[in-house]
Amino acid sequence: MEHGGDLLTYKDEYKGELIDFSSNINPLGRPEGLDKAIMDDFKQVEAYPDIQYRELKESLAGYLNCETNNVLLGNGAVEIINNFIMFADRVVVFKPSFSEYELRARVHKKDLLIISYLEDFSLRLDVLKKSLKRGDLLILGNPNNPSGLRIEESILVEVYKCVKDADAFLLLDEAFYEFCPEDYDSIELFKEDGYKNVGIIRAATKFFALPGLRLGYACASENIVKMIQTIELPWSINSVANTAGQTIFSDKDYIKASKEYIQIEREYLLKELKTIKGIQAYKSDTNFILIKLVDYDEEEIFHKLLKKGILVRKCSSFKELGENHIRIAVKDREKNSILIQALKKFI
């Protein structure tokens, strides 16, 4: 299965250091002070992490503004997705979306209903209403990958109603949440309802620039948390990720600066991309942008960029997109303009 960030596979095609636009990581890098916290606590690797991760859950409950017994953890968001899928009778996904939703359903031999997004990547509520049934697990990226679009609040409320009416379950994959405009917070939105029939997954991976640490987390009702815990692997968060999770979420300056930075650079990229004929950049709510190569195919552009040291994400592994889309991450201004100049040259 193809994923972003696979630099090693392409190391022979470009000898220097690649600029990685294929994985969607905060360009400001990891929070300052993290390294010291990790080193100060590194001796902890000689002990098992607390099997209940009590301090980490407290830290997360503060950050997410929920109770500690609403918090689930995973070795990356994908492990939490996997654990929810194990309880589903059927998995319902919209495509194109993160390939692991479908893959993990297949691994666990679950029935699978695949619905296509509309051409503008909006949800098909009519199909959803007709199709959802008891025991379904509906997984939605919010924002979705690769479209970069967030579900509007009013639409999400409708989806949720639909899910509750069917006695199904809604799993929101919000791994890119912090990069989005502050419109609504799903954890607040579903709090009054006690997270009945809904789980919200987030991760330190992208926003805190720590994909290597593998720290995913989720908010769900106490009952669902207890249910998932019966099947969790023990000690799935390693002690370094455990330490990081007790440090990064309180770094308010970093969080604010990152949000502002991403917004400015996203707007810069979208504005510049609009001026390039022969490609069409989609609107994005987050830190990556999907681009349709109207007059080109992805292989051509991919390898031209690679020869210049730029790695983008080919999107043909999202089958619904065909072979003429690429996805780029929002990076720092210097790198973003290198990409823009390269695209202007090749297109």
Point out which span in 58-66, 135-143, 160-168, 210-218 binds its own copies (CB under 8 A).
Answer: 210-218
Point out which span in 22-30, 169-177, 178-186, 267-275 binds its own copies (CB under 8 A).
Answer: 22-30
Q: From residue 48 to residue 67, what is the string marking binding to its own copies with x (rule CB under 8 A)?
A: xxxxx-x-------------
- State how far the Cα of 165 lies from the Cα of 197, in Å rounded to an integer: 10
Q: Is the peptide bond before 143 cis (omega within 30 degrees of 0)?
A: yes
Strands laid side by side in the 313-314 sheet: 279-281, 288-293, 325-329, 313-314
* Min separation Cβ 100 and its own copies, Å: 7
Per CB under 8 A, 326 contacts its own copies: no
Long-range contacts (CB closer than 8 Å, 24 or more residues apart) made by 153-160: 153/183, 153/184, 153/189, 155/122, 155/123, 155/125, 156/184, 156/186, 156/189, 157/189, 158/125, 159/123, 159/125, 159/128, 160/190, 160/197, 160/198
Among 93, 240, 290, 321, which residue interacts with its own copies (rule: CB under 8 A)? 240
Per CB under 8 A, 209 contacts its own copies: yes
How many secondary structure helices (H) and strands (E) does the chain include? 12, 13
Residues 84-143 that bind its own copies (CB under 8 A): 86, 100, 107
- State how far the Cα of 125 lies from the Cα of 16, in Å rounded to an integer: 47
| Other C-beta atoms lying within 10 Å of the C-beta of residue 193 | 12
* Min separation Cβ 13 and its own copies, Å: 16
Residue 89 is encoded by which pair of tokens? 């009778």
* Min separation Cβ 236 and its own copies, Å: 6
Point out which span in 38-46, 258-266, 304-312, 339-347 binds its own copies (CB under 8 A).
Answer: 38-46
* Min separation Cβ 45 and its own copies, Å: 4
Per CB under 8 A, 19 contacts its own copies: no
Q: Where along the sequence are the contacts to its own copies (CB under 8 A)?
A: 1, 3-8, 20, 23, 25, 29-30, 35, 38-39, 42, 44-52, 54, 75-76, 78-79, 82, 86, 100, 107, 209-214, 230-231, 233-236, 238-242
